[in-house]
Amino acid sequence: MIGPILFALVLLGTAAFSYKKYSFVVRNIQLGKVDEEAKPSPERWRNTIMVALGQQKMFKRPLAAGLHLCVYLAFLVTQIELIEIVIDGLTGQHRLFWAWWEGSDFLRGFYTFLVSFIEVLSVMALVATFAFLARRNLLKLPRFVKSEMNGWPKLDANLILFAEIILVFCIFLMNSTDMAIHRNEYGFLVSGLISPFWEEMGASNETLHVLERIGWWGHILIVFAFLGYLPYSKHLHIIFAFPNTFWARLNKKGEMANMKEVQEEVASMMDPNAAFDAPVSEEIPKFGVSDVFDLNRQQIMSAYTCTECGRCTSMCPANLTGKKLSPRKIMMDVRDRADEVGHNLDLNKTEFINEEQKSETSKLTVENYDDGKSLFDYISTEELRACTSCNACVEACPVLINPLDIIVELRRNLILEQSDSPEEWNGMFNTIENNGAPWAFSPDDRDKWAMEINNAE
């Protein structure tokens, strides 16, 4: 009876710890604004099925996609065996499904096939894991050794890969020793090849039972640890890839969102009478984005969805020519800033309450938050100006993350609110304002060639 109680305590502890951390991430996403225009649609469901579930965009790089598919399929199918392990742990039974299906050759045969299939996928995942470790640490592919990957990002990736190796080892330790104890009764494919090793070693039933328990507990504890670790890791994309692809923008690539205030101002210039009918707002409009509070929730969720694979950065022409911009770093910076704000809110750091509201409350909230920092403390002007708005990063991302939207909004804030733009840009802005085009020629001068052609005809 001790086993089920211990298992239940570990399960409840894992659930409580995970709930707290996942709630932290969800709350951080809610720091952003609600996008009122985003509505469910058939196209969103198609994106979710094809891109998140079907891994469609991964296969633009077949080798990496094939390796990732091995790990992905193993992760999905292994959840079936995990259900049995959890039931066994709570009830104190052993291979409950096998016991339930006694007398049915079909169901037991299906059970053997299913576990054997999981074992084959686990072997494939193990091979892929070693390949991923080699690509990161031996081959050192350029996109994995950029400056933003130093420190925790590199360690995070390696930790998960090493945990995957231990997990597969525990699966085969559990299954092969169990097969040896029961004289290969289950008929598992890969474990059936390993179990004779234990007989050759002369392992007693008691030793095999201890090893089987080590494999069983090792397997489930790594799974539980993984669940608790996910919110700290780039591997959170396992969960967030689905809602992120569902809510990703459906506009054509390269189409930039209009600023409502500017659009209304232009409309009033075109129709002066409309300006008198429009409601007057007392709030001073804000142009662009300066902090996570100005982003919408999908953009912050994209930051937590980022797999840090670096495909966006490896395709960025600015980065390829030696400029400082890395679209991957932009997303990592947004996530880091959201984490910073979230931790300050959780700790109720009252020193960050806006000066105007300090006398009114002793609770730090999103509404009164002011720590004197912004996204510009993470992302430099040099990075933002290097972007060519070519959408290569958007096209490359396997989970429909759009760094360009964030870059554009940050640049709008720099220019329209901080008047921070290069002199070359200011000259262009002036000619657009005066001539309606970036060239220093009046519209009449630009149209002369057309008039000359018409006159010649």
Predicted local confidence at residue 440, as pLDDT: 74
Predicted local confidence at residue 276, as pLDDT: 53
Predicted local confidence at residue 282, as pLDDT: 63
User: Mind spelling out the 3-state secondary structure of the chain?
Assistant: CHHHHHHHHHHHHHHHHHHHHHHHHHHHHCCCECCCCCCCCHHHHHHHHHHHHCCHHHHHCHHHHHHHHHHHHHHHHHHHHHHHHHHHHHHCCCCHHHHHCCCCHHHHHHHHHHHHHHHHHHHHHHHHHHHHHHHHHCCCCHHHCCHHHCCHHHHHHHHHHHHHHHHHHHHHHHHHHHHHHCCCCCCCHHHHHHHHHHHHCCCCHHHHHHHHHHHHHHHHHHHHHHHHHHHHCHHHHHHHHHHHHHHCCCCCCCCCCCCHHHHHHHHHHHCHHHHHHCCCCCCCCCCCCCCHHHCEHHHHHHHHHCCCCCHHHHHCHHHHCCCCCCHHHHHHHHHHHHHHHHHHHHCCCHHHECHHHCCCCCCCCCCCECCCCCHHHCCCHHHHHHCCCCCHHHHHCCCCCCHHHHHHHHHHHHHHCCCCCCHHHHHHHHHHHHHCCCCCCCHHHHCHHHHHHHHHC
What confidence tens digit (pLDDT) does each residue in 248-262 have?
A: 989 887 788 888 877
* Residue 270 pLDDT greater than 80, yes or no: no
* Distance separating alpha carbons of residues 148 and 355, to the nearest angstrom: 35
For residues 443 and 336, which has the higher predicted lDDT (pLDDT)? Answer: 336
Is the alpha carbon torsion for 169, 174, 177, 178 positive or negative?
Answer: negative
What confidence tens digit (pLDDT) does each residue in 271-287 have?
A: 766 655 556 566 777 88
* Residue 77 pLDDT greater than 70, yes or no: yes
For residues 246 and 284, which has the higher predicted lDDT (pLDDT)? Answer: 246
Structure tokens at 384: 């933002």
Q: What is the mean pLDDT of residues 3-26?
A: 92
How far, CA to CA in Å, does 346 sit from each of 62, 354, 356?
A: 43, 17, 21
The CATH number of 288-421 is 1.10.1060
Predicted local confidence at residue 279, as pLDDT: 62
For residues 161 and 1, which has the higher predicted lDDT (pLDDT)? Answer: 161
How far, CA to CA in Å, does 181 sit from each of 102, 167, 174, 414, 448?
A: 18, 21, 11, 69, 93
Predicted local confidence at residue 272, as pLDDT: 65
* Residue 373 pLDDT greater than 70, yes or no: yes
Q: What is the mean pLDDT of residues 353-359?
A: 85
What confidence tens digit (pLDDT) does each residue in 375-390 have?
A: 999 999 999 999 999 9
For residues 328 and 98, which has the higher predicted lDDT (pLDDT)? Answer: 328
Predicted local confidence at residue 150, as pLDDT: 93
What confidence tens digit (pLDDT) does each residue in 50-74 have?
A: 999 999 999 988 998 999 999 999 9
Question: Are residues 195 and 176 in contact, defined by beta-carbon separation less than 8 angstroms?
Answer: yes
Predicted local confidence at residue 396, as pLDDT: 95
The model carries a pTM of 0.90
Q: How far apart are the first and last CA of the chain?
A: 99
* Residue 291 pLDDT greater than 60, yes or no: yes
User: 93: burial class by Cβ within 10 Å (0-12, 13-18, 19+)?
Assistant: middle
Residue intervals in the chain for CATH 1.20.950: 2-30+61-247
What confidence tens digit (pLDDT) does each residue in 114-153 have?
A: 999 999 999 999 999 999 999 999 999 999 999 999 999 9
The phi-psi region of residue 281 (left if phi > 0; otherwise alpha if psi is between -120 and 50; otherwise beta) is beta
* Residue 332 pLDDT greater than 80, yes or no: yes
Fold of 2-30+61-247: Fumarate Reductase Cytochrome B subunit (1.20.950)
Predicted local confidence at residue 188, as pLDDT: 93
Predicted local confidence at residue 76, as pLDDT: 87
Q: What is the mean pLDDT of residues 3-29?
A: 93
% residues pLDDT > 70 (the chain):
95
Question: Are residues 29 and 377 in contact, defined by beta-carbon separation less than 8 angstroms?
Answer: no
* Residue 263 pLDDT greater than 90, yes or no: no
Please choose, from the candidates 450, 449, 430, 448, the residue with its C-alpha nearest in 3D space to the C-alpha of residue 440: 430
Predicted local confidence at residue 336, as pLDDT: 97
What confidence tens digit (pLDDT) does each residue in 390-426 have?
A: 999 999 999 999 999 999 999 999 998 998 888 888 8
Predicted local confidence at residue 446, as pLDDT: 67
Residue intervals in the chain for CATH 1.10.1060: 288-421
